[in-house]
Amino acid sequence: MNILAIESSCDETAASVISNSRVLSNIISSQHFHSKYGGVIPELASRAHLASISLVVREALTKAEKNIEEMNAIAVTTEPGLIGSLIVGSNFAKGLSIKYNLPIIPVNHLEGHLYSGNIQDETIVLPYIALVVSGGHTALFKVESYSKYKVLGSTVDDASGEAFDKIGTMLGLPYPAGPEIDKLAKTGNPRAYVFPRGMLHSGNYNFSFSGLKTSVRYFLEKQFPQGLPEDKLSDVCASVQEAIVDVLVKKSIDASVEYNVKHLIIAGGVSANSCLRKRATDLAKLQGIKVVVLNPDYCIDNAAMIGFIAEKRLLENGPDAYQDLTFKVNASSLRAKRKK
Ligand code: KG4
Ligand code: ZN
């Protein structure tokens, strides 16, 4: 079984070939130019996807040493994401499906992240808890099978990656600021300043990061009206990171303990954060829970995760379920529950 997968929901143009759950290629072209605007500009993102998608798809097939005629299906991200970006990937996939008479498997981007741990670790035991943390999403899931999962909670305002990025902008760091804050925090004192841990004791699995953002803004205005001195930057970064990581880790471990799971998977761009990885791994170990941290190419948006779950769906539902399928792209969707 060979699947060609395409992902273009935000600012990564990505394509991958998956063969019997193995990743034969995973090509990611990141649109770094958004950095100079301090965030992703949707119209520019769609145009950049258009410019690179055919090259990225070709490279994925070449690297996998496969022809498109050898594919059994095309998988594509259809939700959630930037509408223009989703349309580019979906139309490209639709064009290929018509030309080569291949079924299309529409995939929810978050479901891709949810199951991405299984690509690199075949020993993950169901059910497991998945924390999906990125620039657009922050949510906790209980995953019961490849077709059944439950949203335990999600952010009520900003995503955790968005908090890293917006606070980074206040600190004069380039976009996306998450990796930079991670790096600077290594030489800072995480207890130098105390910032709010939103909803830490809310008694549910929801998150909130906008209060942290506001608190850092007031802190900077009050404490450093002339601008943050260079020698305080790493302390502020470490303290901000600590506040975000504290909440993410506590809720993930609480959920893992409550549902008595053996594995906790941390996925999405923010899962690259070194403090989050270490803290979650260490604390989970005390509870006998294994944390699955992903290889960098599976943390960021990628098409391997889209192809991986699409292949499971194709095996479960059969190709007829996807023949002549009409589908729509959908900018926002975090369905409360998805049951087959
Ligand atoms: O999943 P992703 O590549 O794209 C989406 O947002 O869907 O995630 C990007 C986000 C950005 O907010 C970026 O700042 C954050 O992931 N990020 C990090 C780190 N690496 C990337 N945040 C904290 N620490 C990192 N090391
Ligand atoms: Zn993502």
Domain 2-113+301-336 belongs to what topology? Answer: Nucleotidyltransferase; domain 5 (3.30.420)
Specify the pTM. 0.92
pLDDT of res. 246 = 97
Q: List, for residues 171-222, the tens digit of each pLDDT value.
A: 999 999 999 999 999 999 999 999 999 988 999 999 999 999 999 999 999 9
Judged against a pLDDT cut of 70, whether residue 270 lies above it is answered with: yes
The pLDDT of 263-273, averaged and rounded, is 96
User: Which ligand lies nearest the alpha carbon of 111?
Assistant: 2
Domains in the chain: boundaries: 2-113+301-336, 121-293
Assigned CATH for 121-293: 3.30.420.40
Q: List, for residues 81-102, the tens digit of each pLDDT value.
A: 999 999 999 999 999 999 999 9
The pLDDT of 233-239, averaged and rounded, is 98
Distance 269 CA to ligand 2 centre (A): 7
Distance 81 CA to ligand 2 centre (A): 9
Domain 2-113+301-336 and domain 121-293 have a common topology: yes
Distance 300 CA to ligand 2 centre (A): 6
Average confidence score pLDDT of the chain: 94
| Ligand 1 neighbourhood includes 160 CB (under 6 angstroms) | no
Distance 7 CA to ligand 2 centre (A): 10
Q: Spell out the SS3 assignment of the chain.
A: CEEEEEECCCCEEEEEEEECCEEEEEEEEECHHHHHHCCCCHHHHHHHHHHHHHHHHHHHHHHHCCCHHHCCEEEEEEECCCHHHHHHHHHHHHHHHHHHCCCEEEEEHHHHHHCCHHHHCCCCCCCEEEEEECCCCEEEEEECCCCCEEEEEEECCCCHHHHHHHHHHHCCCCCCCHHHHHHHHCCCCCCCCCCCCCCCCCCCCCECCHHHHHHHHHHHHHHCCCCCCHHHHHHHHHHHHHHHHHHHHHHHHHHHHHCCCCEEEEECHHHHCHHHHHHHHHHHHHCCCEEEECCHHHHCCCCHHHHHHHHHHHHHHCHHHHCCCCCCCCCCCCCCEECC
Q: List, for residues 156-184, the tens digit of each pLDDT value.
A: 999 999 999 999 999 999 999 999 999 99
The pocket of ion ligand 2, defined by CB under 5 A, consists of 134, 301
